[in-house]
Amino acid sequence: MSKAIRALALLPALALLFTGLGWLTQPESAANSLGLPLLDGVARSSQIGDMTAFFLSSSFMIFIGLITEKRTWLLAPAMIMGLTAIFRILAWLLHDAALPMHLIAPEIFFSLILLLVASRLPQEDSHKES
């Protein structure tokens, strides 16, 4: 994989990594950046746990994909971010939610970057003979 393509995939990997670390170290700021109030009690535990897992696991999948050069690892976070954007739009259409384009645009952009990078990787052969 070329260095330019690898560097391109680092954009979403680092953005997700720093956002996930923000949820661990400064959850109130991280919540505010997404337009969320920081909840209390068990809800706060769920909010911080779920959001940290979402961002860090997506980041880690990208890093694993870059290290192993296996496209599946890049397709998974592309799907997660792409579906997040789609579900935000559906929330706006169906449930009177706000349409946060400042959040949707990066999700779509990062998904497209990951799909591009994944397309540059060799197809994995799942039927290798032993």
Q: Among 32-36, 60-64, 123-127, where is mean pLDDT lowest?
A: 123-127
Residue 120, C-beta contacts closer than 8 angstroms, at least 6 positions apart: 1, 2, 5
pLDDT at 85 (0 to 100): 98
User: What is the Cα–Cα distance from 31 to 48, expressed in whole angstroms?
Assistant: 9
Q: What is the pLDDT of residues 48-102, one digit of tens each?
A: 999 999 999 999 999 999 999 999 999 999 999 999 999 999 999 999 999 999 9
Any residues with CB less than 8 A from the CB of 122 and at least 6 apart, and which? Answer: 69, 71
pLDDT, one tens digit per residue, over 2-15 is 888 889 999 999 99
Per-residue pLDDT, 5: 85
d(CA 121, CA 2): 10
Neighbours of 8 (CB within 10 A): 15
pLDDT at 122: 80
Q: Return the C-alpha torsion angle 109, 115, 118, 122, nearest 10.
A: -150
